[in-house]
């Protein structure tokens, strides 16, 4: 199918740099360029408020190392990595307090993006906040700790540009790498829900608001028993 025959592509608006504002990566996966840009300052404020209550930290991994991105969470459940494995917990292991509530601005953004991508009724109950500085990356992985793959993943990029890797359902599938800029939102679900993805690194650039730091906020729905 050519771009002009593809109904999703026919709706595209062009950004000032001539890139389409919506790009179907493949069935189930949609990149919404600059979807969040108009309210990005509000989302950054929400992120800072969460981080004041539950600070960013470099979590230990089952392999004996440490995540190079610093992380925290908000919502009913938070994602935790430790030498024992990966899990979602209702309490922050740093202080045994519930994770901060998910800010309404972030919840609404996630629902709107999911709906725009064709996933009406998205009810994220967890939100992972990633903070990348020079040298940080995230290896190719699948999001499969949620116990529910009927709902999509919504991922918001803020600040410095990140180099995102998008693969297929198998680790050895072809991987595309592309830039995710401030305000870009990526949604994947349905046939693409378990596709491998990661962050190769950061672009050699800085952002007027966040400088050399990139933030990513990823929304998911976790089965409470997971």
Ligand X SMILES: O=C(O)CCC(=O)C(=O)O
**Shortest gap between Cβ of 61 and ligand X (angstroms)?**
13
Nearer to ligand X, 114 or 199 (CB): 199
Q: Does 216 bind ligand X (CB under 6 A)?
A: yes
Q: Which of residues 137-176 bind ligand X (CB under 6 A)?
A: 138, 143, 155, 157, 162, 164
Long-range contacts, stretch 178-182, CB < 8 angstroms, 24+ apart: 179/203, 180/216, 181/33, 181/34, 181/157, 182/37, 182/40, 182/157, 182/158, 182/207, 182/209, 182/210
d(CA 138, CA 53): 24
Which CB atom, from 119 or from 199, has the smaller least distance to ligand X? 199
8 A C-beta contact, residue 215 and residue 207: no
Q: Binding pattern to ligand X, positions 176-195, x when CB under 6 A? A: ----x---------------
Kind and range of the H or E element at 108? helix 104-116
CA distance 182 to 195: 23
Q: Per-residue string for binding with ligand X, 96-135, x by CB under 6 A?
A: --------------------------------x-x-----
Which of 2, 22, 19, 1 lies closest to 11 in space, CA to CA?
22
Q: Taking the complex as a whole, how short is the minimal distance between the CB of residue 142 and ligand X, in angstroms? A: 9
What backbone torsions phi and psi does residue 18 show, to the nearest 5 degrees? 75, 10
Q: Between residues 92 and 128, which has the closer beta carbon with respect to ligand X?
A: 128
Q: For ligand X, which residue of 160, 182, 195, 197 counts as binding (CB under 6 A)?
A: 197
Residues in the interface with ligand X (CB under 6 A) total 14
Q: CB of 218: closest distance to ligand X in angstroms?
A: 4
Among residues 159, 203, 161, 218, which one has the least CA distance to residue 40?
159
For residue 72, list its beta bridge partners. Answer: 129
Residue nearest to ligand X (CB): 216
DSSP SS3 for 50: helix
Nearer to ligand X, 78 or 162 (CB): 162
Which CB atom, from 151 or from 155, has the smaller least distance to ligand X? Answer: 155
Q: Which residues bind ligand X (CB under 6 A)?
A: 128, 130, 138, 143, 155, 157, 162, 164, 180, 197-199, 216, 218
């Amino acid at each position: 199918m050519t771009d002009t025959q593809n109904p999703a592509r026919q709706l595209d608006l062009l950004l000032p740099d001539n890139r389409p504002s919506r790009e179907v990566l493949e069935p189930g996966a949609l990149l919404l360029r600059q979807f969040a840009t108009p309210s990005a300052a509000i989302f950054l404020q929400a992120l800072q408020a969460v981080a004041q209550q539950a600070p960013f930290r470099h979590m230990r991994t089952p392999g004996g190392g440490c995540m190079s991105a610093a992380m925290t969470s908000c919502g009913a459940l938070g994602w935790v990595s430790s030498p024992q494995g990966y899990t979602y917990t209702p309490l922050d292991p740093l202080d045994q307090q519930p994770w901060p509530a998910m800010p309404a601005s972030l919840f609404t953004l996630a629902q709107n993006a999911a709906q725009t991508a064709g996933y009406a009724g998205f009810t994220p109950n967890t939100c992972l906040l990633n903070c990348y500085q020079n040298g940080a990356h995230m290896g190719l992985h699948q999001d499969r700790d949620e116990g529910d793959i009927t709902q999509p993943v919504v991922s918001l990029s803020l600040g410095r540009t990140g180099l995102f890797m998008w693969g297929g359902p198998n680790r050895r599938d072809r991987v595309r790498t592309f830039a995710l800029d401030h305000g870009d939102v990526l949604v994947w679900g349905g046939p693409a829900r378990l596709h491998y993805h990661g962050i190769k690194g950061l672009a050699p650039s800085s952002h007027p608001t966040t400088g050399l730091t990139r933030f990513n906020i990823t929304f998911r729905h976790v089965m409470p028993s997971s």
